[in-house]
């Protein structure tokens, strides 16, 4: 069962959650798991179809607006709805009301979802309707549906399908995490109903168009009527059924970003290639077979966790933009929470999975970020810097979309996080062209930002008034995470110029106007970087004042007051030692050579006590670092929180969309946590441990041109080179494997 998710609950709240859980996507197109026919007993639904990065621009309204606050923001749009299929049998609408039996399955091996309804009608007898749908991985524009209707006796049947351009985004003014206002942002430009149904819409401000053309085929002779009205194109088939009838439907989406002005023609061409649902489904399954083989991740001993792992990896695949104009929204393409924005979530939490299993996608994600470099340079100037690149906290097309600067623009660490992921890509692939074409420039501009933000005082390089990852502590001096990440950024920026071949260095020096001594100044700043340390506690301080504050009494805080951000004014939170998420502990994970073992361990113990994990980005970090410190059972407990967070709706907001960073965190907790993988300038390293509850755990990663399979059993670890040759370390031992070779090493109980 770990390949499937089954949920037949039809209570209103769970239906909304299921819309996210059963969402299908392919990185370009995402469709929530809505019912084709809508709901019978409930009005609440977020009926959603999204195209990654397809957005409009809306004004930000402030009560009080200060200098360089962003004036507009981008918002991912709910686009044309082509999910609707309405069926009537002998004049009665078929719908998944409670009196009807329903079975619903997400099949992660096939990349399809299936919904089967069965009920009894006096005249037609028992009728079974099976809806299948998929969003294709092999033709990114395609959403395919198939409906099978099986009546026991002869019946008069009507099927209507609709392409609807009269759509809006969902809004809920009571919840700051869901978009509010500006719900309707698309105008219908054209509606046609002939052999195909098609609708074209345009955004109000961003000047982007989206088009959907759909065609269908029925397995039996029928009368077909078409109509258009109010932004909708509709077709209706009427026929007499006896036995089984199959309707196959293909909807193709195109948009200005990917298809230019030719979006209507291109949709028609793509539709021509769609002839058989079975063939489309076979291609889908073959694609997924490859995916599951490349990113194999199995544990033996807990089917529920295995299901959670599969589910999380499946949604990562479904959500990652791979066209360099899009990225991974914080909620994937499964909902409208966070308005489709991209955050540091990608670089720190999701990117590693792609880097180590699908480097092509990883490269595209970086190319997307690189394409925002000019906008980041402009933003740095707006905010008052003389040079450098300041990446926006949340964005789609490059402009800062956060209206709350203390937990938005002030999170300068995002620039270092992006730099970090670029460095990781280089360390894994060693692509020299990447160094010349992307890495050096990105690191140079981010290093310049740190030089312009920080300052030397008493022999220390200090960075004031920034916010670290923990959003319950804002605008502080010398956030340890930020300073340590900036140090890494500065050191690597200088190193890039040494790694470049002279002719490339010369060309870049001119283009980037590298000044004499500039790289040396980065090295000096890095060398003198101030990393706050508390002598009494012998831990790194989260920032200059964190440890002076009063400790929040978490034990006496009522359960219903969590997450704290929904129940306390930010200033209250800022005045206490209380963390929303991992901050210093995350720095220790990413940069383990910045502190010694004992300091990291003490920091862990200290910060764990003041962390609420109100952000889903926290558990995986605490899991990985518990494993690092040898507390494997604690690592396991934190890991469990990540693996089924959405399936079990533990954060109670899965209805707004899935928690993609946490999903990436599941992979991190297994591979970086239990297997203890690290990527360093010195190469690839493992320090594996296995939780008691599991018999074994296996996974695959790519390292340069090699494919490595790692299997952890209770008493040993086995490394096998399935493809290519590679060298890595297991603790202190260096291991080299040629293709087909393996090495087994005893594993001691953690």
Least Å distance, CB 469 to ligand BGC, is 6
Alpha helices in 323-470 (DSSP H): 345, 351-357, 359-370, 373-383, 413-429, 432-434, 440-453
Q: Which of 581, 584, 649, 666 binds ligand BGC (CB under 6 A)?
A: 581
Instruction: State the Cα–Cα distance between residues 582 and 618, nearest whole angstrom.
Output: 5
* Residue 248 vs 653, nearer CB to ligand BGC: 653
Q: How near is the Cβ of 396 to ligand BGC at its closest, in Å?
A: 14
Q: How many residues bind ligand BGC (CB under 6 A)?
A: 12
Are 105 and 98 in contact, with CB atoms under 8 Å apart?
Answer: no
Tell me the closest approach of the beta carbon of residue 27 to ligand BGC, in angstroms: 18
**Which residues inside 617-646 make contact with ligand BGC, applying CB under 6 A?**
617
Q: Can you tell me which of 358, 580, 655, 687 binds ligand BGC, judged by CB under 6 A?
A: 580
Phi/psi-derived region of residue 739, left when phi > 0, alpha when psi is between -120 and 50, beta in every other case: beta
Q: How far is the CB of 343 from ligand BGC (least distance, A)?
A: 4
The mark string for 307-346 relative to ligand BGC (x by CB under 6 A, - otherwise) is -----------------------x-------x----xxx-
Toward ligand BGC, which CB reaches closer, 376 or 708?
376
Q: 471, 518, 641, 720: which one is catalytic?
A: 471
Of 202, 208, 87, 98, nearest to 156 (Cα)?
87
Work out how close the CB of 580 gets to ligand BGC at its nearest, in angstroms, rounded to a whole number.
5
- Helix and strand numbers, DSSP H then E, in the chain: 21, 31
Q: Does 263 bind ligand BGC (CB under 6 A)?
A: no
Residue among 338 and 497 whose Cβ is closer to ligand BGC: 338
Q: Give whichever of 163 and 617 is closer to ligand BGC, judged by the CB atom.
A: 617
Tokens 């209707």 locate to 149
Radius of gyration of the chain (CA): 27
Nearer to ligand BGC, 147 or 621 (CB): 621
Work out which of 479, 615, 623, 649 binds ligand BGC, going by CB under 6 A.
Answer: 615
Is residue 471 part of the annotated active site? The answer reads: yes
**733 in a labelled binding site:** no
Render the burial of 4-41: b for 16+ CB within 10 Å, e for the rest: bbebeebeeebbbbbbbbbbbbbbbbbbbbbbbbbbee
Q: What is the C-alpha separation between 680 and 542, in angstroms, rounded?
A: 24
289 is in an annotated binding site: no
Q: Which of 443, 661, 679, 697 binds ligand BGC (CB under 6 A)?
A: 661
Contact 426, 420 (CB under 8 A): no
In whole angstroms, the minimum distance from the beta carbon of 394 to ligand BGC comes to 8
How many Cβ atoms from other residues are within 10 Å of residue 504's Cβ? 16
Handedness of CA 254, 259, 261, 264 (dihedral sign): negative
Q: What does the block give as tokens for 360?
A: 């092509």
Greatest Cα pair distance in the chain = 90
Q: Is 527 exposed, middle or buried (0-12, 13-18, 19+ CB in 10 A)?
A: exposed
- Classified as helix, coil or strand, 314 is helix
Q: Is 523 annotated as a binding residue?
A: no
Nearer to ligand BGC, 81 or 471 (CB): 471
The answer to whether 553 is annotated as binding is no
Active site residues per annotation: 471
Q: Which residues are annotated as a binding site for substrate?
A: 344-345, 580-581
Q: Which residues are annotated as a binding site?
A: 344-345, 580-581
Positions touching ligand BGC (CB under 6 A) are: 330, 338, 343-345, 469, 471, 580-581, 615, 617, 661
């Amino acid at each position: 069962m770990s390949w499937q998710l089954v949920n037949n609950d039809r209570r209103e709240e769970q239906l909304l959650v299921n819309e996210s859980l059963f969402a299908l996507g392919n990185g370009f197109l995402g469709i929530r798991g809505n019912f084709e026919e809508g709901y019978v007993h409930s009005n609440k639904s977020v009926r959603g179809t999204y195209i990654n990065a397809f957005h409009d621009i809306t004004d930000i309204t402030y009560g009080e607006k200060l200098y360089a606050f962003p004036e507009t923001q981008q918002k991912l749009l709910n686009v044309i709805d082509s999910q609707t299929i309405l069926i009537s049998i002998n004049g009665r609408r078929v719908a998944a009301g409670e009196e009807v039996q329903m079975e619903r399955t997400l099949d992660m091996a096939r990349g399809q979802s299936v919904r089967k309804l069965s009920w009894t009608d006096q005249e037609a007898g028992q009728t079974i309707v099976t809806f299948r749908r998929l969003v294709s991985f092999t033709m990114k524009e395609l959403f395919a549906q198939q409906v099978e209707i099986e009546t026991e006796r002869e019946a008069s049947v009507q099927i209507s399908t609709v392409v609807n351009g009269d759509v809006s985004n969902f809004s809920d003014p009571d919840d700051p995490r869901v978009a509010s206002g500006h719900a309707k942002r698309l105008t219908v430009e054209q509606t046609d109903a002939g052999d195909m149904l098609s609708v074209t819409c345009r955004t109000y401000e961003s000047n982007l168009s989206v088009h959907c053309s759909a065609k269908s085929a029925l397995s039996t002779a029928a009368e077909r009527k078409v109509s258009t009205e109010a932004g909708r194109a509709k077709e209706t088939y009427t026929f007499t059924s006896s036995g089984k009838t199959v309707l196959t439907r293909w909807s193709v989406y195109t948009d200005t970003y990917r298809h230019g002005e030719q979006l209507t023609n291109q949709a028609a061409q793509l539709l021509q290639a769609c002839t058989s649902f079975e063939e489309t489904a076979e291609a889908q399954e073959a694609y997924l077979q490859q995916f599951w083989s490349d990113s194999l991740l199995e544990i033996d001993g807990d089917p529920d966790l295995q299901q959670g792992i599969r589910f999380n990896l499946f949604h990562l695949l479904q959500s990652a933009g791979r066209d360099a104009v899009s990225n991974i929204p914080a909620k994937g393409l499964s909902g409208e929470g966070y308005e489709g924005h991209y955050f540091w979530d990608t670089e720190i939490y999701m990117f590693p999975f792609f880097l180590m299993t699908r480097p092509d996608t990883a490269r595209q994600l970086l190319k997307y970020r690189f394409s925002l470099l000019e906008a980041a340079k402009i933003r740095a100037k707006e905010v008052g810097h003389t040079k450098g690149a300041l990446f926006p906290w949340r964005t789609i097309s490059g402009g800062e979309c956060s209206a709350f600067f203390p937990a938005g623009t002030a999170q300068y660490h995002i620039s270092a996080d992006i730099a970090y992921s670029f460095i990781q890509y280089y360390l894994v692939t060693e692509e020299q062209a990447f160094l010349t074409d992307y890495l050096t420039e990105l690191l140079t501009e981010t290093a310049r930002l740190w030089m312009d933000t920080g300052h030397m005082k008493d022999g220390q390089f200090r960075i004031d008034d920034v916010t670290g990852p923990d959003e319950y502590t804002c605008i502080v001096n010398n956030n340890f995470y930020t300073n340590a990440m900036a140090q890494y950024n500065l050191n690597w920026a200088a190193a890039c110029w040494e790694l470049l071949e002279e002719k490339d260095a010369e060309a870049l020096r001119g283009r980037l106007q590298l000044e004499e001594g500039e790289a040396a100044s980065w090295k000096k700043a890095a060398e003198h970087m101030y990393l706050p340390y508390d002598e009494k506690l012998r831990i790194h301080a989260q920032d200059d004042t964190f440890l002076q504050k009063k400790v929040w009494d978490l034990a006496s805080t009522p359960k219903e007051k969590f997450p704290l951000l929904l129940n306390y004014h930010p200033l209250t939170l800022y005045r206490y030692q209380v963390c929303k998420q991992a901050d210093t502990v995350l720095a220790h994970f990413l940069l383990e050579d910045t502190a010694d073992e004992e300091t990291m361990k003490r920091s862990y113990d200290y910060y764990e006590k003041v962390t609420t994990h109100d952000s889903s980005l926290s558990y995986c970090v605490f899991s990985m670092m518990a494993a690092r410190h040898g507390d494997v059972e604690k690592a396991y407990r934190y890991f469990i929180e990540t693996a089924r967070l959405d399936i079990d709706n533990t954060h109670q907001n899965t209805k707004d969309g899935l928690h993609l960073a946490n999903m990436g965190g599941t992979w991190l907790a297994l591979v970086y946590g239990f297997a203890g993988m690290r990527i360093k300038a010195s190469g690839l390293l493992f320090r594996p441990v296995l939780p008691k509850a599991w018999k074994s755990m296996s996974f695959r990663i790519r390292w340069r041109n090699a494919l490595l399979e790692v299997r952890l059993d209770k008493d040993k670890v086995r490394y096998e080179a399935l493809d290519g040759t590679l060298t890595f370390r297991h603790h202190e031992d260096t291991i080299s494997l040629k293709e087909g070779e393996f090495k087994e090493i005893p594993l001691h109980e953690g």
